[in-house]
Amino acid sequence: MARQAGVILATLVVLAGIATVVATRLVDPVDPTSPGYLPTEAHPWWPDGTTNETLVLFLAAQLGLGLAAFLRRPHSGAAQALLAGSAGNAASSVVWSVGLGPADLLQRSPAWAVFFMSGTLTLVFWSSLVHIVLVFPSRESRLGASPWVIPLVYAVPQLLLLLGAMRIDVLQPSRLAWIDEWARIHAAIVSLLLVLGVAGIAARLGSVSKSRRRQIRAVAVATAAAAVATLLLIDVPIALTGAPLLPRSTVALMALPVPILLAATLWRDRTFRLDRLRRSQMALLHAREEERRRLRRDLHDGLGPVLAAVGLKLDAATSYLGRDEESARRLLTEARRDLTSAMSDTRRLVRGLRPPALDELGLVGAVQQLIEGFAGPEGDGPLISMMADKLPPLPAAVEVEAYRIVQEAVTNAVRHAQAQRCEVRISVIDDSLRVSVSDDGVGADDGRSGVGLESMRERAEQLGGECRMVRGETSGTRLEATLPLGESP
């Protein structure tokens, strides 16, 4: 479904650009060789006029890499954004390559169609930059996970452009000043998107894990550098003076490594995840073997001798029946006590394998029961609240690991971080279960916190997910875990 949606979106973007070109030329045919004809520098596919080889190279590479990354990882939000942005940029150049004659500029309608559609499609490209920053390498941030943020990233710039277009006086045929005003408005909106993109890159580099940071550092630095160069050399000068400091083709050539690095990083991301999943599976196999050894030891050294002793006492009690009722009664009482102890040990072993509350109450009910246990006998414990969406049926392994992660996180917050308030959030986003535990504590010591976090991270990674902890500047921490519900990408 994701593959079809991405292809359909990219196709619609390109067709919108081509339709604008065809409609403009059918309504107002123009001879490209006529005096005063204005061939734009972005003229890669129109049969007449100038051709900018640098821009052709950039657009072809970007579109090809976007398509390759999408076909490789169709469910990746970053790959979908790269394809949509590449298609928008290519379609914008197709629209702009229509060229404009003097009559087009004076009659307004053809020129307005070219400027507006080209600007709209270009904003799709720059919005995709912010989209990629929000969701790559994964939707760890609250902004990236929100179902409303990504649509707003694309819709708000278009709304600003529309409001700017309404502000421009395009109704006076004798004036061409609206062209410069249009360029300034468009450049200001692009500048805003570039600033958001650079700020987002800096924030994501500071929030992801060390392994993730190493994975995305090169593409993040290259993207930030290209965005800053575009901002300082193209859009800010246009917004202020009406003209760029360098030709767009030069900046495009400077930015060519960005789509290459991004596509390569997306390509390697699957390998990175598979390698991590293999390591987690090996750790899971070792942990499972250790669990079997522990169960065998507990059964052999604990439950086995107790049951053997019960059998001997029952045999002895049988031999006393009819001749020493008091001894028989005493042995039966001891046997019953031993059986009660054996049943307690069995329940303990069962709880170690899977909390019974999960089968009785489900994940949300089990977690609610868990956090109620921290309230204290008189309700004088820390204030722990929970917010949970309506969850679909969850895989058993996901339920267990999510429960254990919440248990470990809340225990750390209450006992080690001395938190007075704690909030647990459970939701399903993008076919993954997201668990968040926030507290206002002072933070645990490095050793204890490191061991606990590593344990929770291993639980998440053995399912192909992620777990990270974000510390507040002065106090408090937030643990976020993402557990895939289906096959890990």
Identity of residue 43: H
Tally Cβ neighbours within 10 Å of residue 251: 20
DSSP 111-125: HHHHHHHHHHHHHHH
With tokens 């489900």, the residue in question is 362
Within 270-355, strands assigned E span none
What is the reported pLDDT for 353? Answer: 67
361, two tokens: 């109450």
* For residue 322, pLDDT beyond 50: yes
* For residue 239, pLDDT beyond 70: yes
Mean pLDDT (whole number) for 32-38:
44
Identity of residue 379: G
Tally Cβ neighbours within 10 Å of residue 143: 18
Helix (H, G, I), strand (E, B) or coil at 383: strand
Between 474 and 182, the higher pLDDT residue: 182
Tell me, yes or no, if the pTM score tops 0.75.
Answer: no
Lowest mean pLDDT among 40-44, 163-167, 473-477: 40-44
484, two tokens: 């895939």
Q: How far apart are CA 478 and CA 419, in angstroms?
A: 12
In this structure, are residues 157 and 189 in contact, taking their beta carbons and an 8 Å threshold? yes
Q: What are phi and psi of 9, to 5 degrees?
A: -60, -50
With tokens 């400077």, the residue in question is 254
Between 26 and 188, the higher pLDDT residue: 188
**Rg for the chain (alpha carbons), in Å?**
32
Lowest mean pLDDT among 124-138, 207-221, 350-364: 207-221
What is the reported pLDDT for 47? Answer: 41
Q: What is the dihedral of CA 123, 126, 130, 136, to 10 degrees?
A: 130
Per-residue pLDDT reduced to its tens digit, 328-352: 888 888 888 888 887 877 777 766 6
**Which residues does 396 contact at the CB level (< 8 Å), separation at least 6?**
354
Question: Which burial class, exposed, middle or buried, applies to 124 when counting CB atoms under 10 A from its CB (0-12, 13-18, 19+)?
Answer: buried
Q: In order of start, what are the domains of the chain with their CATH numbers? A: 2-255 (no CATH), 288-353 (1.20.5), 362-484 (3.30.565.10)
In this structure, are residues 238 and 244 in contact, taking their beta carbons and an 8 Å threshold? yes
Q: How many CA atoms lie within 13 A of 346 on its CB side?
A: 10
Q: How far apart are CA 424 and CA 470, in angstroms?
A: 15
